[in-house]
Amino acid sequence: MSRRWFIGLSAGSSLTGVDAALVRIEGAGADLVPRLEHHVHEPYSRDVRDLLLRTAEPAPALQHLGLAHRVLGEAFANASRKVVELGKQTWQQILGIGLSGHTAWHDADGRYPSTLTLGMPAALAERTGLTVVSDFRSRDLLVGGQGFPLTSAIDARLFRDRDERRVLIHLGGVATVLWLPASGNGMGFQAAPCTLLLDGLMRLLTAGRESFDAGGKNAVQGRCLEPLVERWLAHPLFKRKPPRTVPRHEFGTAFLAQAVELVKLQGGNLHDLLCSATHFAARAIVQAVERYLPAAPERILVSGGGARNGLLWRLLEQQFAPAPMERIDRFGVAAEARKAVAFAGLAALTMDGVPGNLPASTGASGPRLLGSFTPGAAANWARCLAWMAAQTAHQRLAA
């Protein structure tokens, strides 16, 4: 069995920091299975977080986008060094890097669907000497896909079970639902804004002093304002059938400011707003699962930073009962590391010459090889080319 090592890198929209995963890849192509060896989370400094917030403004300055692109490239390189040190690996043992990056813009439904991801792959290749595979979403968009969720093929390899119907819910900036049936084809879609909304409100209401509601401790002190939740659930997004993506810009600065004013009109406070937003996220996720999945799940798996929010967890657990709910940590992948692990796997698929997208999840017209290559040092790039040539020869013989 073939064995390789990749680094997977991701940066969620919650703006907490960078996740790096050292991943052992067993097998190749259709038989590929990623195994998490080590994971590190590198928090952003206040300056980096403020810079990323500027890129999220309605009309960000080009200088902010350019600077963030470079700064994130260096942050990814630093996280890569730390996870390699933790794993006691040498750079020569690692074949490449799968880079998810920070999504600054994504519009899958415009006249010309487009996406912009920050995190300079050239800086990463220069600092580590490893070949980087990045910009995975563009190819899927170009063939009619939503560009999200791209990790379905890898998630299925990690979390599917032949004896029960499962749903994997990723509680990141956007809540993503992945259907994992015991047999047959799975599918996935973005369900609702999640920590994107909760963290944005926390930053706004504390004037940036706190970037997220740790454990949901503020939200749990409030009361749910039902009229506000119903107003949000009436958003046109929730009437759209999958495949679909959440338009992040529609839940940005203007949405948050309006939410604050609406709570004031109802005599609410900070805790009430956070409580209502948490109820909204939970209800939107559950409604999406009930409306769009072909059968009721027998088990709910949860990943992402939102899995640590106690109130959100309790609301989901109550509404999904009697199906048990558990974090993916039990299956050898830390809840915060899933996305990084998945992009290491996607990079490996690309090097194997195997499409990484699932049209049933993204809506693309067909499967495609994903990503763009940024060559590392000459010796590493030669190893990558030799591996890819061997895979191509193998595929020809198999045909």
Please list the rounded mean pLDDT of every run of 10 residues in the chain (399 residues): 89 86 95 96 93 89 96 98 95 97 92 95 98 97 96 94 96 95 90 92 82 86 95 95 90 89 90 95 97 96 93 97 95 93 98 95 96 98 96 76
**102 & 170 share domain:** no
Same domain assignment for residues 15 and 143: yes
In a domain, 310, yes or no: yes
Number of domains in the chain: 2
**What's the CA gap between 55 and 37, in Å, rounded?**
33
Domain assignment of residue 229, yes or no: yes
d(CA 39, CA 36): 8
- Work out whether strand 131-134 and strand 372-374 pair parallel, antiparallel, or are unpaired: antiparallel
Of 308, 331, 354, the one marking the end of a domain is 331
Quote the domain boundaries for residue 343: 3-151+337-398
Tokens of 161: 């079970």
In a domain, residue 171? The reply is: yes
For residue 204, what is the domain's CATH number?
3.30.420.40
Alpha helices in 56-111 (DSSP H): 62-87
On whether residue 28 sits in a domain, the answer given is yes
Write down the pLDDT at residue 207.
78
In our burial notation (b when 16+ CB lie closer than 10 A, e otherwise), range 31-58 reads ebebbbbbbbbbebeeebbebbbebbee
Does residue 85 sit within a domain?
A: yes
In whole angstroms, what is the distance from residue 77 CA to residue 331 CA? 28
Where are the strands (E) in 226-273, listed by range?
none
* Three-class SS state of 156: helix
Tell whether 178 and 128 lie within a shared domain.
no
Residue 311 lies in a domain: yes
Cα distances (Å, whole numbers) of residue 135 to 168, 338, 372: 24, 18, 6
Instruction: Look at residue 399 in the predicted model and tell me its pLDDT.
Output: 64
For residues 72 and 369, the answer to whether their CB atoms sit within 8 Å is: no
The answer on 341 and 321 residing in a single domain is no
**Rounded-to-integer distance, Cα 344 and Cα 261, Å:** 43
Distant-in-sequence, close-in-space partners of 397: CB < 8 Å, separation ≥ 6: none
Among 287, 308, 331, the domain-final residue is 331
Same domain, yes or no, for 112 and 206? Answer: no
Q: Which residue is it, tokens 């939410």?
A: 259
CA 169 – CA 150 distance, rounded (Å)? 14
Is 156 within a domain? Answer: no
Nearest CA to 93 out of 380, 309, 389 is that of 380
Is the domain of 341 the same as that of 325? no
The answer to whether residues 124 and 12 belong to one domain is yes
Q: What is the DSSP letter of 44?
A: P
For residues 344 and 108, is the Cβ–Cβ distance under 8 A?
A: no
Cβ proximity of 80 and 128 under 8 Å: yes
Residues 291 and 239 in one domain: yes
